[in-house]
Amino acid sequence: NAGVTQTPKFRILKIGQSMTLQCAQDMNHNYMYWYRQDPGMGLKLIYYSVGAGITDKGEVPNGYNVSRSTTEDFPLRLELAAPSQTSVYFCASSYSDRGKETQYFGPGTRLLVL
Amino acid sequence: RKEVEQDPGPFNVPEGATVAFNCTYSNSASQSFFWYRQDCRKEPKLLMSVYSSGNEDGRFTAQLNRASQYISLLIRDSKLSDSATYLCVAPSRRTGRRALTFGSGTRLQVQP
């Protein structure tokens, strides 16, 4: 299993540009998440999904969109990049085992908006 | 009040020392907690879950104190490889049962 994969690893955007951060998992997990992590800070939840076709907002959804057309993929879209979106973005997936849940993270995408 | 609060550190300890971190949480209804480890510029990885009865895995022990609403992580016989940031994680009250809230992390530096 590749686990959770993310592309690209690093990207520089100009203000106002758009891009899609890709996330895929091959563990057949129903739950998937997008987080951002600013320097020296914890992870903040952007969006999450409990299954194909179902998405919901997290703590900091403004400026982002997501879709979940398949179990495997959960892309994150930035429509109008702003300097405040400079961050490291982590995708995660999880399963529930007898009520206990473990999240597995991808390696992250570093985004710089100038 | 933040949902999860941690002392950012850094905790600088010599090899072989025992070190403990605490983390407080605000959602008294929370049932499951976790400690994640994050190395510099890497993704978080699950270190251990925290059960109401406590949890021990080798040199690592996690405890839950519901009355005072904190969880702890004890590391015995610290190794250089334990140097990392340790993230305390609790269920999010704001965004639903499935979401987790991560603390800002406690940085540990083990020195030779």
The pLDDT tens digits of the residues spanning A27-61 come to: 999 999 999 999 878 899 999 998 999 999 988 99
B36 close to B102: Cβ distance less than 8 angstroms? yes
The Cα–Cα gap between A16 and A9 comes to: 20
The pLDDT tens digits of the residues spanning B48-64 come to: 988 777 889 999 999 99
User: Does residue A104 have a pLDDT over 60?
Assistant: yes
The Cα–Cα gap between A71 and A93 comes to: 10
User: Does residue A20 have a pLDDT over 80?
Assistant: yes
Q: Determine, for residues A42 and B42 on separate chains, whether the beta-carbon distance falls below 8 Å.
A: no
**Confidence band of A96 (pLDDT split at 50, 70, 90):** confident
- The proportion of chain A whose per-residue pLDDT surpasses 90, expressed as a percent, equals 82
CA distance A67 to chain B (A): 17
Q: Which residue has the tokens 């850094």?
A: B10
Q: Determine, for residues A43 and B102 on separate chains, whether the beta-carbon distance falls below 8 Å.
A: yes
What three-state secondary structure class fits A51? strand
User: Does residue A98 have a pLDDT over 60?
Assistant: yes
CB proximity A102 to B under 8 Å: yes
Sequence-separated (6 or more) residues with CB below 8 Å from residue B62: B33, B35, B48, B49, B50, B51, B54, B55, B56, B71, B72, B73, B74
Q: Determine, for residues B95 and A56 on separate chains, whether the beta-carbon distance falls below 8 Å.
A: yes
pLDDT given at position B94: 60
A60 close to A36: Cβ distance less than 8 angstroms? yes
Which A positions 13-72 lie with beta carbon below 8 A of chain B?
31, 33, 35, 40-45, 48, 50, 56-59
| CA closest to B4 among chain A residues | A42
Classify the phi-psi angles of B80: left when phi > 0, otherwise alpha if psi is within -120 to 50, otherwise beta. Answer: alpha
- What is the identity of the amino acid at B60? F
pLDDT given at position A99: 62
pLDDT given at position B93: 66
Q: Which residue has the tokens 């100009």?
A: A14
Q: Determine, for residues A56 and B8 on separate chains, whether the beta-carbon distance falls below 8 Å.
A: no
- The proportion of chain B whose per-residue pLDDT surpasses 90, expressed as a percent, equals 62
Q: Determine, for residues B99 and A48 on separate chains, whether the beta-carbon distance falls below 8 Å.
A: yes
